[in-house]
Amino acid sequence: MPDILKFIDYNKSRYEEELKEFLRIPSISTAPEHKGDIRRCAEWVAEEMKRIGLNNVKVMETAGHPVVYGDRLDAVQDAQTVLFYGHYDVQPVDPLNLWTNPPFEPTIIGDNIYARGSVDDKGQVLMQLKAIEAHLRTSGAMPVNVKVIIEGEEEIGSPNLDKFLEDNKNLLACDTVLISDTPMFGYDQPSLCYGLRGLCYMQVEVTGPNRDLHSGFFGGAVENPINALAMMISKLKDDKGKILIDGFYENVMPISERERTEYKKLPFDQKAFMKDLETDATPGESGYTELERMWARPTLDCNGIWGGFTGEGAKTVLPSKAYAKISMRLVPNQTPDEIAKKFEDFFNKIKPAGVTIKVTDLHGGMPAITPIDSIGMKAATKALAEVFGKEPFLTREGGSIPIVNSFSSILGAPTVLMGFGLPDQNAHSPNEKMNLKNFHRGVKCGALFYQNLV
């Protein structure tokens, strides 16, 4: 076995201890009360980058949470330059009562480490830092040039990262971007992802009467904003799962015949999928398979809906207000701005008399497709095959990493999405976990990726 792989095997328990330290910091980017923790986490990442031997490490300010930068640029002349990107921020933890162990007290049970951020994305960030460390500790050098940026706002849509890329074009110039923030198809089945969906996240506020009313006294002559909101939501899709917003599909890139053929070969197990979720159907847009619907077709979902009386027991009230959060996953070549406008226009068109509505665009992210034949994809394919003993599947994913599109449009670099999560690892849910065997395999894949670029 090459020395670098031996080194990685030898250091497994140290990696796990370091991962625990990283996971103990509650770096929830959306929560103002965690601003100090976010800063502490950025500083932890900067210290870790220095420890592993990166140069020029700095915590760089943005209008929001900071980006941590480091590099190692002493490879031989004409070597490739890789930019590794990840995020140190995490999602909120609610509902807290559903966690078996506290979210920021990492706990190893069997092959998994449980904590918020374990798979999304701290585990996968640390695995790539350990891959760089393994090169620097065993040979004293990287086979290629490497730059690293770890940001703190991915989970809120990376609102300041485009500007950061624009302002630091030279600093970040590279041939390939590497990201580990996507799932594998299955525990033993490595995958390379070449497409991500975008996102358009909206909020609708519906106002009926100017105050809450007695539903007996007034009911029958006043529009109820909850009823009106439910009616409007029901008009967003037909019963075949087609979205009815005018012009919604206008810019949708169709799934190619090649993709449809390839996806049909992938062993998607509908029964196992339903069993895992304890549901009895996999409904969605008619005419498309589950994988096509989850990876390459746009969707619309309510994320939350509230208003009126929701306490225990009954209160006869005709409420003044109702609210919904509604998001749409986008595919190339839809854009969040275009879809936000179409969404707002549609709501204004279907709004019944007796209520007013306020539609707010909360945040968005661009969809992305990355080339499947780049030098980076070849290096990653080889690395995964070497470590897992299997060729990776080529997949797309339904989630979003908004900055991938900007790496191509601003830096002109293709991205390689080599991720080590699993579908059952509860990203964004209670009891998030990372499979430690795949963590260690991921360190090896990262190390071999750089080697394979030479």
Positions annotated as catalytic residues are 89, 154
**Of all helices (H) and strands (E), which one includes residue 58?**
strand 55-60
Note whether 432 and 118 are within 8 A (CB): yes
- Candidates 112-120, 241-249, 251-259, 383-391 — which segment interacts with Mn ion by CB under 5 A? 112-120
Per CB under 6 A, does 446 bind ligand BES? no
Distance from the first to the final alpha carbon of the chain: 19
Per CB under 6 A, does 399 bind ligand BES? yes
* Least Cβ distance, residue 66 to Mn ion (angstroms): 18
* Least Cβ distance, residue 154 to ligand BES (angstroms): 5
Q: Which of 28, 401, 411, 418 binds ligand BES (CB under 6 A)?
A: 401
| Phi, psi (rounded to 5 degrees) for 381 | -55, -45
Interface with ligand BES (CB under 6 A), residue total 16
Per CB under 6 A, does 181 bind ligand BES? yes
Site for ligand BES in 119-138 (CB under 6 A): 120-121
Site for ligand BES in 346-365 (CB under 6 A): 365
Q: Which of 397, 441, 445, 453 binds ligand BES (CB under 6 A)?
A: 397
Per CB under 5 A, does 121 bind Mn ion? yes
Collapsing DSSP to helix, strand or coil, 10 comes out as helix
**How far is Cα 44 from Cα 40, in angstroms, rounded to an integer?**
6
**How far is Cα 234 from Cα 324, in angstroms, rounded to an integer?**
13
Tokens found for residue 372: 């499947």
CB nearer to Mn ion: pick between 121 and 151: 121
Task: Name the residue with the smallest CB distance to ligand BES.
Answer: 399
- Candidates 62-70, 149-157, 234-242, 437-445 — which segment interacts with ligand BES by CB under 6 A? 149-157
**Of all helices (H) and strands (E), which one includes residue 55?**
strand 55-60
Q: Which residues of 44-65 are buried (b: 16+ CB within 10 A; e: fewer)?
A: bbbebbeebbbeebeebebebb
Tokens found for residue 305: 């809906």
Per CB under 6 A, does 155 bind ligand BES? yes
157 binds, among ligand BES, Mn ion, none (CB under 5 to 8 A by kind): ligand BES
What residues does 113 pair with on adjacent strands? 108, 434
**How far is Cα 156 from Cα 122, in angstroms, rounded to an integer?**
16
402 binds, among Mn ion, ligand BES, none (CB under 5 to 8 A by kind): ligand BES
CB neighbourhood size of 358 (10 A): 12
Per CB under 6 A, does 402 bind ligand BES? yes
Site string for Mn ion, 141-170 (x = CB under 5 A): ------------------------------
**How far is Cα 184 from Cα 384, in angstroms, rounded to an integer?**
11
Per CB under 6 A, does 300 bind ligand BES? no
- Candidates 20-28, 126-134, 176-184, 256-264 — which segment interacts with ligand BES by CB under 6 A? 176-184
CB nearer to Mn ion: pick between 37 and 181: 181
Site for Mn ion in 178-217 (CB under 5 A): 181
**How far is Cα 157 from Cα 336, in angstroms, rounded to an integer?**
11
* Least Cβ distance, residue 121 to Mn ion (angstroms): 4
CB nearer to ligand BES: pick between 344 and 397: 397
DSSP calls for 212-280: -EEHHHHTTSS--HHHHHHHHHHTSB-TTS-B-STTTTTTPPPPPHHHHHHHHHS---HHHHHHHHT-S
Contact set with Mn ion (CB under 5 A): 120-121, 181
Residues that bind ligand BES (CB under 6 A): 120-121, 154-155, 157, 181-183, 196, 199, 365, 397, 399-402
